[in-house]
Amino acid sequence: MGDRLPPCDADNLGPAKLAGLPESLQHSLRPLLEQVEMLTARIKAGEQHIEQIARTKYPETELLRQISGVGPLIALTFVLTVDDPHRKLGILMHRLWVTGDVYEPLRNSQARPGGTRAAA
């Protein structure tokens, strides 16, 4: 069993990628790839819905999205959970401007002893 699917990201992974594999593998993998395709479509629809909510109901998220690494979900989370978004946003943007950092909330980092964080 040394067969491999052609490389691609999840957006392009579907039953069409089965070409070239043995028939037994195609039969086994087709339902799984159909599920991946369906879930990818649902995720895209959810992302579009979040984008629409951010644009129409919370226009203040547009300012947050100017920060590198901040998308509609992070911006909405910030706006909906912070008590005084204008004060907190100012502090965050000033810190990022002064340090030149990029806001990367999902960066793979590990805590070090003493409470500091190591970059990935």
How far apart are alpha carbons 13 and 86 in whole angstroms?
A: 42
How far apart are alpha carbons 37 and 92 in whole angstroms?
A: 38
Contact predicate 75/55, CB 8 Å? no
Using one digit for the tens of pLDDT, what is the confidence trace for 97-112? 677 666 555 344 444 4
Token pair belonging to 7: 């490389």
Which helix or strand (DSSP H or E) is residue 37 part of?
A: helix 23-57
Using one digit for the tens of pLDDT, what is the confidence trace for 5-16? 667 776 776 777
Single pTM value for the model: 0.56
Token pair belonging to 83: 């008590």
